[in-house]
Chain A
Amino acid sequence: MTTPRFPLPVLGSSAPVEPQAVDLPDEASFAPGRQPGSDHGYGRSYWRSVEEQLHGEAALPHRDQEFPPGAFDVPKGFARRDFLQLMGASVALAGLTACTEKPVERILAYNKAPDGVVPGNPLHYATAFVQDGLALGVLATSWEGRPVKVEGNPSHPISRGTTGPHAQAELATLYDPFRARVLKERGAGRSWRGFRESMRIRSAAWEKDGGAGLRFLSGPSSSLLVGSLREAIAQRFPKARFHAWSATPRDSVYEGTALAFGRALEPHYVVEKADVILSLDADFLEARPDTVDQNLGFANRREPHHPKGMNRLYVVEPRFSITGGMADHRLRLRSADIEAFTLALAAELGKSVPTLSGYRSPVPLDGERAKFVAAVAKDLAGKRGAALVIPGERQTALTHAVAQAINASLGAIGATLTFTEPAVLDTASGRAGWQALVDDLRAGKVDTLVITAWNPVFTTPGDVDLPGLLKRVPNAVYLGLHDDETSRAVNWFLPAAHPFESWGDARSRDGALSIVQPLIQPLFGGISEAEVLGAFLTDDTKPYNRLKALHASRAKTDFDSEWEVWLANGVVPGTASPAVTPSLQTEKVRAAAAQARPAPAGLELDVVHDYKILDGRYALNSWLQELPDPITKVTWDNVAQFGPGMAKQLGLGNGDLVTLTVSGRSVQVPAWVQPGHADDAVTVSIGYGRKQHTLGVKDADEPVVVGHDVYPLRSAASPWFLTGLEVKKTGRKYPISTTQVTNVTEGRPIALMQSLEEFEKHPEAPEQRSPEKLPGGKELEGRLLPSVQPEVDYSKLPYKWAMAVDMSRCTGCSACVVACQAENNIPVVGKYQVGRGREMQWIRMDRYYSGPAESPEMVSQPMFCQHCETAPCEYVCPVNATVHSDEGLNDMVYNRCIGTRYCSNNCPYKVRHFNYLHWTQDKSQVEKMLMNPDVTVRARGVMEKCTYCVQRIERTRIASRIENRTIGDTELKTACQQVCPTNALTFGSLHDPKTQVSQRHADPRRFDVLHELNTRPRTVYLTKIKNPNPELG
């Protein structure tokens, strides 16, 4: 191949740097970005002309005209400038293996390693993964200064050692070669110093008028550092304003609590203590930084032998969500009707609970819904102190307030629900905070707008013309990871440093403070939010020093040593917010509820954030793009989900392109028939429809549009749902790549599900489950398919590795799929190849529906190599490339594999994946940094599959052998097991009957998938148990 696409000058690499197609107007730009570690104070600055001195930089004639034509044209070939660039970049990045604040030593060999670094042995650093301002403590596995894997931080109160899919995929964003590299002013390259200068010149004017025209638009943040900087800026420019914007705001949570309790509070649902849970369109089982802890709590109560019994989950929602898939009873309802449902529930409860009297629903509920409300109300009322109602972020403030009123009345507060002060600084990141800015923009009051929120031009609702408004802002600044829609609408674009590249802090939902420490030097010389805010202050302190100064007072004894401990632990002790016991403003809520109006009838448009790319910020993250949606199994696209009844009525099938029109704005989206979806609603997810490079996808150098942009349909007033949707068929088909075409088990005993009642009646294994019986109950003895594999005596060896999957716990969130991808260097293949059935993820999250299409039950079954003791793949391989280890692992010998694919054909579980093309070819230097050095990167023509993370087994074995002991039960975790927020996966040795995995193997719920084939899988499954309410039966 010729030049790599994104050469990163690395030590020892002679790859030439591709010329960057930017103008290089001044000397400072010759160093790309900043000189890492160097001081930005360059002494005094000299003005260039009288005009500049008098009127500021804006008064200068356009800089391009200062030099003769062609002066900025990039020379062809490897010119002197390229050489200088390469030299500069090489020198600048020579210290790549150190952290930002360590002194840059320009050495070439790694012969004096930092303390504790043994080449070839990874280290783990605690930091935090932040999403919408909420932190999730993580540990990053770092190889010689190169982070390659993110794990949950066990000492973090929300994470407890697990994460969700986004945290797992964050590194793919870090090593995204398409990240912006050049600081630009109106498209022309500038230096950071130049930007500071420009702001310094402007600040003279702001100091005079108090910064009346100065506005900041950021994403919701919980960073105390950012908070202190904002305060400092506000002190210097009292009239400057800070606004927050998020396309996925949690405003209704705070507005609801404000209505219910008089002030905005952060609710913490202690799901584990709840016997009965009602979710009002709350997707509390989606593993995000605000919900990861709820997953484990919920899952713990899904085991039938839990001492407090199984919980029962009711879900009311329009679309089929992850939480809906776990529901014991699910009512599909338009989002707009959920408020009325909540009021009807309050009214129903009011019959027995005096504090809830006086509520009434604006519309009477009809048969099925009334029955549902009655049953839920009875169930909730019967479990006072152990009942919980969780309202969703998409719901109205009133729904939140009434839900909290119900919680308060049912004694949930203090038991299943606690409150703290919100950890985020911006409790209004939706319409409330944003409207004031839009008004100011419209009024032309804004002179300088500093945007650090993610791509607001793209995420703006369709009824706000932000690009048009930005044109009126003379000085708009945008800090972003990528050169995107917003960067093209502003005059200053600052390439951002990834959070894993910069110092900062963040708080989790419960207030626990984590120091975000950089894991690597900024790859592309990015700038952090704190640095940008610092540019508006007079002192030029580095964020690291600001951070230390800010938290210096927290130390009880010696700051420096405590600081080290905080960094090492990832959580600053004693920072969690104390629980508050708010008192319910009963009358206010009731008065507000009385104002509730019936929702307008008609088809509803539901906008949801995407399970994978959220609001679009992960649109360039190919791991998440390629991750099959936990419910629809669609990759690389968003779809308009229709209920089965509506799809039938409109004659729609999957992939039919439809035009959705609401309030005169329309977009085209492919239709998707989603079982269990409300028929009078259509759900679309935001974030797609951007023209983008698809990183890591073979032969995808040209940017393409991925998915369909539905932001134009959104309204600022009602971002989440709108009635009055019109649907028109276009008659065209749109290709959709999904990883699962068949949604039902065809009556096969594969993914078993039982009700608690059935299970308790027959706790002994029913025929499908017993390894000794055939389906139908016939004795299996002598009827198993004979195996040509010899019997192996596994008792001689210290370990007998095995896995168990508790399907009662598994929500299907797919965090394991991404974790496996990160751990095992699994390539991304792109939409086209996924459509051709060539996806490479080692974990296939099988999802089956049962029951009627209108109200199906869902079961998720992660399917990966079962490590069969008598593996059908092994005896058919002609070259011994897949063989059994003594400890029971089914090993792949990549070097030996010639790629006949016979093993995959003969695998009844179809969990082997073949490198049909050279997926890992043409990787840029930056992308290569993502690879886990413990795992072979597979070549074209080789079969691969789950290895039980054999590299982790071997690392742990080395550690245990050094200490002359055996590997303990909790010492070794596979990547999927470690990430699983619900602890659905366990791995260990079967030799010790006390291990978790042995216990699960002995569980009466255990069954072996396709055991009648005599494959003797080492991975077993535990039947999913549901706990339905007999009254709704």
Chain B
Amino acid sequence: MAAAEHAAAASGADALDAYPLMVGKQDNTTLTGNLLAHVWARPDKGWLLSFMIALSGSGALVLAITVTLVEGIGAWGNNIPVGWAFDITNFVWWIGIGHAGTLISAILFLFQQRWRTAINRFSEAMTIFAVMCAGLFPLLHTGRPWFAYFMFPYPSTLEMWPQFKSPLIWDVFAVSTYFTVSVLFWYLGLIPDLASLRDASKSPIQRKLYGIFALGWRGSGRHWHNYKVGYLLLAGLSTPLVVSVHTIVSFDFAVSLIPGWHTTIFPPYFVAGAVFSGFAMVMSWMVPARHFLGLKHVITMRHLENMNKIILATGMLVSYGYLMEHFIAWYSGNQFEWFVFFNRATGPYKGVYYLMLFCNVLVPQLFWFKYFRTSIPWMFIASIFVNIGMWCERFVIIVTSLHRDFLPAAWDMYYPTWVDITLFLGTIGFFSTCFLLFLKFIPAVAVSEVKELNEELQHRPAPVTVVTGA
């Protein structure tokens, strides 16, 4: 069995899997050619149109930020008791989305999952842009963002330090570390490809620019050696971050004493949710991107199906989280705790709650079936639902817990304003803008790694079919 598995894995087409990791016979020239093609191609109408839409979204973001800064948080719908609403919902959602990239690049790298190779560049870029979007909110949500630097432990003449007991301070460190490491990791992986771009450049300006960013990469053995060591180290460094960032984000809630927030299950539950939403977001972008950029031969159904399996697995984890949350709320006998969950299902925000359950619990169940796992339209729709569902989950956790907490006299409702909605949609626009620029200027697939994979696949024995059964 082990031998068969090994042999099957080496082929790039698992014995148990009908789909290969790479379609067709490729060599270094074809791969370099077709994987860099979308960078050299002139932007087509589709790209320009998408880019215009995304840029308008970014413009809306700038507008919403301006209104927020000029008017104050009062431009949003937040109030007392709902001190956090769309702002932190968006923050947690974006951070969650930022989890797929690092998980794919680092954890799957360490586990030597070869199917990560074609999608890691793509998802890492998404991580970076998602964290950029996420990072906006903690800054913007403060009443006086111009003093947000108080959160950093800088040597102040007032001899004031941040309050290290506050999870918000942990957030500052967690998110900034995560962002830094993600950028480094992504950039390190980019260097060989940037060099390829430099070498394939047709104009001196392109050559100069790519040359600067390629940091003098010549592809020598020494370079490759250092590169591999560095990449492995960063992968090792990123791996705990994947778990820690969302754990710490979940502490924002778990450390408080608000019923619905004060839950020990939050760290694993949040991490699972983050991976869940991150994979869904990667899926939502990858399905169109592989089509339009002509990457179907390297991002195959094998990749898509594997990702759907992860979505199913993390979706089940998230569902288990819901189940346990509700169970413990009942089992604890704590009336406040129980009320919060009862209120989520029956209160004024029950629509969001049921949408969340539908998207996060029911929709992933489709992926038990191979048909849905391998159907492009279905997986695209499902991934969009999961994205929506995970946003709803954060909204449910944050708003429904706050709006009816301990003292009924203080209860109130939260309704978003146009600024709230524009800010959210604007971050999607900004994310899309960054992503489209990324697709335009940088190879969407790690070319050097794919070439390496191709070498591996071609220098291994042919696949062995394992016949099972009687």
Residues of A at the B interface (CB closer than 8 Å) are: 740-748, 750, 775-776, 785, 788, 833, 836-838, 844, 846-848, 861, 863, 872, 875-880, 896-902, 904-906, 908-918, 939-943, 1009-1010, 1013
Does B458 have its Cβ within 8 Å of any Cβ on chain A?
A: no
CB distance A917 to B74 under 8 Å? yes
A844 to B411, CA, bound (A): 12
A833 to B145, CA, bound (A): 22
A982 to B354, CA, bound (A): 49
CB distance B73 to A900 under 8 Å? no
CB distance B163 to A878 under 8 Å? yes
A941: chain B residues at CB < 8 Å are 72-73, 142-144
B76-124: which have CB < 8 Å to A? 77-84
Contacting residue for A910 out of B151, B172, B405, CB 8 A:
B405
A742 to B172, CA, bound (A): 37
Interface contacts beyond A875-B165, A1009-B407: sample of 6 additional A-B pairs, CB < 8 Å, sorted by A: A748-B336, A837-B80, A880-B161, A901-B83, A906-B257, A941-B143
Minimum distance in angstroms from B92 CB to a CB of chain A: 14
B256: chain A residues at CB < 8 Å are 872, 876, 902, 905-906
A747 to B338, CA, bound (A): 13
Does B302 have its Cβ within 8 Å of any Cβ on chain A?
A: no
B165-179: which have CB < 8 Å to A? 165-169, 172
Given known A-B contacts A900-B168, A917-B71, A908 and B407 have beta carbons under 8 A apart: yes
A872 to B150, CA, bound (A): 21
Does B357 have its Cβ within 8 Å of any Cβ on chain A?
A: no
Chain B's interface: helix, strand, loop or mixed, by majority?
loop
Does B141 have its Cβ within 8 Å of any Cβ on chain A?
A: yes
Given known A-B contacts A876-B168, A878-B172, A898-B147, A838 and B79 have beta carbons under 8 A apart: yes
A838: chain B residues at CB < 8 Å are 74, 79-80
Residues of B at the A interface (CB closer than 8 Å) are: 71-74, 77-84, 141-145, 147-148, 150-151, 160-163, 165-169, 172, 252, 255-258, 333, 335-336, 339, 402, 404-415
A995 to B78, CA, bound (A): 42
CB distance A875 to B163 under 8 Å? yes
Interface centre among A775, A906, A913, by most chain B C-beta atoms within 10 angstroms, is: A906
Contacting residue for A837 out of B72, B151, B412, CB 8 A:
B412
A898 to B408, CA, bound (A): 28
CB distance A878 to B169 under 8 Å? yes
B163: chain A residues at CB < 8 Å are 875, 877-880
Minimum distance in angstroms from A748 CB to a CB of chain B: 7
B144: chain A residues at CB < 8 Å are 897-899, 939-942
CB distance B162 to A878 under 8 Å? yes
CB distance A901 to B84 under 8 Å? yes
A746 to B407, CA, bound (A): 9
Contacting residue for A914 out of B80, B150, B404, B405, CB 8 A:
B80
Minimum distance in angstroms from A849 CB to a CB of chain B: 11
A903 to B257, CA, bound (A): 11
CB distance A744 to B408 under 8 Å? yes
CB distance A910 to B410 under 8 Å? yes
A708 to B16, CA, bound (A): 76
Minimum distance in angstroms from A367 CB to a CB of chain B: 34
Lowest 10 A-B CB distances belong to which pairs? A899-B143, A941-B143, A837-B79, A901-B83, A916-B74, A846-B409, A917-B74, A910-B410, A878-B168, A837-B412
Given known A-B contacts A741-B412, A880-B160, A880-B161, A836 and B79 have beta carbons under 8 A apart: yes
Minimum distance in angstroms from A805 CB to a CB of chain B: 14
Q: Give me 29 A-to-B residue pairs in the complex whose CB atoms sit less than 8 angstroms apart, sorted by A's number.
A: A740-B409, A750-B406, A837-B413, A838-B80, A846-B409, A848-B409, A863-B407, A872-B256, A875-B163, A875-B255, A876-B168, A878-B163, A879-B150, A880-B161, A897-B143, A898-B147, A898-B148, A898-B151, A899-B143, A901-B78, A901-B83, A902-B252, A902-B256, A904-B80, A908-B405, A910-B405, A914-B143, A940-B74, A943-B143
A918 to B148, CA, bound (A): 18
CB distance B335 to A748 under 8 Å? yes
B409: chain A residues at CB < 8 Å are 740, 742, 844, 846-848, 861, 863
A913: chain B residues at CB < 8 Å are 80
A42 to B406, CA, bound (A): 69
A776 to B333, CA, bound (A): 10
Minimum distance in angstroms from A839 CB to a CB of chain B: 8
CB distance B407 to A900 under 8 Å? no
A901: chain B residues at CB < 8 Å are 73, 78, 83-84, 141, 143
A773 to B404, CA, bound (A): 25
B74: chain A residues at CB < 8 Å are 833, 838, 916-917, 940
Name B76's closest neighbour in chain A (CB-CB). A916
Minimum distance in angstroms from B25 CB to a CB of chain A: 57
Given known A-B contacts A878-B163, A908-B407, A836 and B77 have beta carbons under 8 A apart: yes
Contacting residue for A916 out of B73, B335, B410, CB 8 A:
B73
CB distance A918 to B167 under 8 Å? no
CB distance A910 to B257 under 8 Å? no
Name A747's closest neighbour in chain B (CB-CB). B335
A742 to B151, CA, bound (A): 37
CB distance B166 to A875 under 8 Å? yes
Contacting residue for A879 out of B73, B151, B252, CB 8 A:
B151
Given known A-B contacts A837-B412, A875-B163, A910-B405, A898 and B78 have beta carbons under 8 A apart: no
Given known A-B contacts A872-B257, A880-B160, A913-B80, A902 and B166 have beta carbons under 8 A apart: yes
Name B255's closest neighbour in chain A (CB-CB). A876
Given known A-B contacts A838-B79, A896-B150, A900-B142, A746 and B408 have beta carbons under 8 A apart: yes
Name A882's closest neighbour in chain B (CB-CB). B163
CB distance B406 to A902 under 8 Å? no
Contacting residue for B413 out of A741, A847, A917, A918, CB 8 A:
A741
Given known A-B contacts A844-B410, A905-B84, A1013 and B257 have beta carbons under 8 A apart: yes
B333: chain A residues at CB < 8 Å are 776
Minimum distance in angstroms from B87 CB to a CB of chain A: 9
A837: chain B residues at CB < 8 Å are 79-82, 412-414
A905: chain B residues at CB < 8 Å are 81, 83-84, 256, 258, 402
Contacting residue for A1010 out of B150, B172, B406, CB 8 A:
B406
Minimum distance in angstroms from A831 CB to a CB of chain B: 14
Name B253's closest neighbour in chain A (CB-CB). A905
Interface centre among A743, A744, A745, A901, by most chain B C-beta atoms within 10 angstroms, is: A901
Given known A-B contacts A844-B410, A916-B78, A896 and B160 have beta carbons under 8 A apart: yes
CB distance B405 to A902 under 8 Å? no
A916: chain B residues at CB < 8 Å are 72-74, 78-79, 143
A288 to B405, CA, bound (A): 36
Contacting residue for B143 out of A876, A898, A910, CB 8 A:
A898
A785 to B252, CA, bound (A): 17
Contacting residue for B150 out of A875, A898, A940, CB 8 A:
A898
A775 to B144, CA, bound (A): 40
Minimum distance in angstroms from A594 CB to a CB of chain B: 49
Minimum distance in angstroms from B323 CB to a CB of chain A: 24
A899: chain B residues at CB < 8 Å are 73, 142-144
B77: chain A residues at CB < 8 Å are 836
Interface centre among B71, B77, B142, B252, by most chain A C-beta atoms within 10 angstroms, is: B142
Minimum distance in angstroms from B413 CB to a CB of chain A: 7
CB distance B81 to A910 under 8 Å? yes
CB distance B166 to A876 under 8 Å? yes
B404: chain A residues at CB < 8 Å are 742
A1013: chain B residues at CB < 8 Å are 257, 406
Name B169's closest neighbour in chain A (CB-CB). A878
Minimum distance in angstroms from A1003 CB to a CB of chain B: 22
A908: chain B residues at CB < 8 Å are 257-258, 405-407
A775 to B333, CA, bound (A): 11
Name B161's closest neighbour in chain A (CB-CB). A880
A991 to B11, CA, bound (A): 80
Name B410's closest neighbour in chain A (CB-CB). A910
CB distance B143 to A909 under 8 Å? no
Name A1015's closest neighbour in chain B (CB-CB). B257
CB distance B72 to A918 under 8 Å? yes
Minimum distance in angstroms from A791 CB to a CB of chain B: 15
Contacting residue for B411 out of A742, A750, A788, CB 8 A:
A742
